[in-house]
Amino acid sequence: MSRREDLYLADIVTAHYRIASYLEGLDFSGFQKDDLRQDGVIRQLSIIGEAASSLTQETRDAQPEIPGKLVRGMRNMLVHQYLMPI
């Protein structure tokens, strides 16, 4: 049984809000020094990419302003090229 698409969309929204909360009040320099926040953001970006990969083509086509291919590509880079420094 496949998961309902609305649940994938909810995952994307939830991950977005988690990233925003992790970064609240933090500048880039602070982010670079905070391994825990980096890990959290990377995890949430991975969730967004994975959920985006599970959306139907019809849903993707309905939102052409969202660069789905880039979102999915970012997930693949984060998961498969994890040795790259931030």
pTM of the full structure: 0.85
Specify whether 80 is catalytic. Answer: yes
Estimate to the nearest angstrom the gap between the alpha carbon of 67 and the chain centroid: 12
Residue 56: partners with Cβ closer than 8 Å, 6 or more residues away: 5
In whole angstroms, what is the distance from residue 3 CA to residue 63 CA?
20
**pLDDT of 80 above 90:** no
The string of pLDDT tens digits covering residues 22-74 is: 999 999 999 999 999 999 999 999 999 999 999 999 999 998 898 988 998 88
Specify whether 18 is catalytic. Answer: no
* Catalytic hit among 4, 16, 18, 80: 80
**pLDDT of 81 above 90:** no
**pLDDT of 86 above 80:** no
Type of residue numbered 77: M
> CA torsion sign, 39 to 44 to 47 to 52?
negative
* Catalytic hit among 4, 37, 43, 75: 75
CB atoms within 10 A of CB 29: 8
pLDDT at residue 50 in the model: 93
Q: Where are the domains of the chain?
A: 3-83
In whole angstroms, what is the distance from residue 11 CA to residue 13 CA?
6
